[in-house]
Amino acid sequence: MSGKADSVELTVDGMTGHVPVENGYACALFTIENVHLWDGVNDPYQYTASARLEDGDEVHTLFGCRSFRIDPEEGFFLNGRSYPLRGVARHQDRKDCGPAVTREQMEEDLALIRELVVQNYNHPSIVCWGLSNEITAATPVDADMLENHKLLNELCHKLDQTRLTTMADVFMLETDSPILDIPDLNSYNLYFGWYLGELEQNDSFFDDFHAKYPARCIGFSEYGADANPQFQTGCPERGDYTEAYQARYHEHLLEMIEKRPYLWATHVWNMFDFAADGRDEGGAHGINQKGLVTFDRKTKKDAFYLYKAHWSEEPFVHIFGSRYVERAEEVTEVVVYTNQPRVTLTVDGKNPQVQTGKYRFVFRVPISGEHTLEAACEDLRDTIRVRRVLEPRKEYQFVREGIVNWFDREEYRPDCYSIKDKMEDIMRHPAAGAKLQEMIGRARKKRGDVAQSASANENLQRMMGQMRLESLLRQISDTIPAEEAKEFNAFLQTIRKEGN
């Protein structure tokens, strides 16, 4: 409002009051009887408040009435009932236009995401303010960082006494770091099963944190894995950039999340692929491919439908692997995602297989030629076509220089060390540990400054210790030649384990 006046006419829910202006500020207290609560996406009801000056100048704002609390054992509650916060992150750019997106493009994104958050004080969907994201990734926690975060936390509470504060912590931040004590809530960005480590380390990380700090509220602010829709396989593994591995990753993480109601909020990174100039991986230059939907918004990856099965009430059925047409296996795995309780799968209109369950249904189907597979849930249908071939299609495979299959073919003496062992176990042996440390050190130099700085992080080193060496060698095969890896495994096989 631009005009000057001695009083303001304030109106809320049909109630009107005239309030004097003091030092440019007017305040009134209204009591709404039988309040209509704002109830998330189910009933996002909002009231209108208006302020009017004598000269006719008038403004309006929307607000909602709701209560929320966050419990360290049971997670987020809205209006007194459990209401798990589950969502995706959205990057702000688009293919061919970068961050200069139109209003129509933003509305298209939000139509896919369904959860709009307007960043203003009166909007009831805001429950907390973020202080920082991965601030400790490249900078140690020192006195200046702690002081800055304390001041920022105090400022947030001064500006808004009704909401909490939080941080998104990078995965290698020590859980006993003093910076975790500053905000009201914390969330961690974890990528076990993609950048490093095993999928199960996501489970153990939160279990250990919750056991050590039962009174703290903890969330899962980032998790994801890259997938290029070009790459397909029936045998997914980490680092292959296939839709199948991305889906397997998210299947595990969704199950992990649903078993841990204390996770107050979780966020998939990311809803859409986005520009990342420094990346050249997974068959795409300058693109981070962790999106559930491609950069141009034209292709929904299979993992998109996994979340739709868990989170959407719109009835649907989706057969996984529509882009995996030519298959070399004699018996192929057919996965169906749906939010319906019963699925019937037919092959060429015959041999119906019926399953009941939730979200994910798995069928084993022999294939010998070209077949049409149809999944049916009542009147819902989805169809894909598959064809048996003798050899896997090269176009389906992301090939990195140095990747070989000797890991799977090699025979190992179980009484001796091998690349199948965890890194921390190998490190305990003086000779094996020294040689492994030297080999990893050379790999870090090839990877650049970030890898070098991460080597000094003790928490990261402990996390890497839980990895099988085989898993790490697959991941960094561009820096350690296959022959060197084979030679190191042969060396390990000469060292007997204690007690053997």
Is position 110 within any domain?
yes
Q: Which helix (H) or strand (E) holds 500?
A: none
Q: What is residue 353's three-state secondary structure?
A: strand
Do 181 and 285 reside in the same domain of the chain?
A: yes
Do 166 and 181 reside in the same domain of the chain?
A: yes
Q: Summarize pLDDT for 105-132 with one digit per residue, the tens.
A: 777 766 654 483 334 567 788 899 888 8
Determine the Cα–Cα distance for residues 453 and 151; give it in Å rounded to an integer: 28
pLDDT of amino acid 116: 31
Do 425 and 376 reside in the same domain of the chain?
A: no
pLDDT interval class at 405 (50, 70, 90): low
Domain that holds residue 331: 315-399
Q: What is residue 336's three-state secondary structure?
A: strand
**What are 388's strand-pairing partners?**
327
Mean pLDDT in residue range 418-430? 92
Do 58 and 98 reside in the same domain of the chain?
A: no
pLDDT interval class at 196 (50, 70, 90): confident
Q: Summarize pLDDT for 445-460 with one digit per residue, the tens.
A: 776 544 555 566 677 7
Residue that is written with structure tokens 């060496």 in the block: 469
Mean pLDDT in residue range 228-252? 95
pLDDT of amino acid 462: 80
Is position 147 within any domain?
yes
pTM for the complete prediction?
Answer: 0.81
From 283, 312, 341, the end of a domain falls on 312
Query: Taking the C-alpha atoms of 266, 272, 277 and 279 in order, what is their torsion angle to the nearest 10 degrees?
Result: 70
pLDDT interval class at 23 (50, 70, 90): confident
Do 143 and 203 reside in the same domain of the chain?
A: yes
Do 36 and 101 reside in the same domain of the chain?
A: no
* C-alpha to C-alpha distances, 248 to 233, 241, 368, nearest whole angstrom: 12, 12, 26
Do 174 and 96 reside in the same domain of the chain?
A: yes
Do 129 and 250 reside in the same domain of the chain?
A: yes
Do 211 and 305 reside in the same domain of the chain?
A: yes
Residues found in the chain: 500
Enumerate residues 6+ apart whose C-beta is below 8 A from 130: 165, 166, 167, 168
* C-alpha to C-alpha distances, 472 to 86, 433, 484, nearest whole angstrom: 31, 15, 14
Is position 301 within any domain?
yes
Is position 331 within any domain?
yes
From 257, 284, 312, the end of a domain falls on 312
The number of distinct structural domains making up the chain is 4
Is position 500 within any domain?
no
Report how far Cα 269 is from the mean position of its chain's Cα atoms: 4
Question: Is residue 214 within 8 Å of 73, Cβ to Cβ?
Answer: yes
Query: Which residue has better confidence, 357 or 498?
Result: 357
| Among the listed residues 80, 11, 81, 66, the one whose alpha carbon sits nearest the alpha carbon of residue 36 | 66
From 50, 65, 80, the end of a domain falls on 65
Do 368 and 407 reside in the same domain of the chain?
A: no
Assess whether pLDDT exceeds 80 at residue 364.
yes
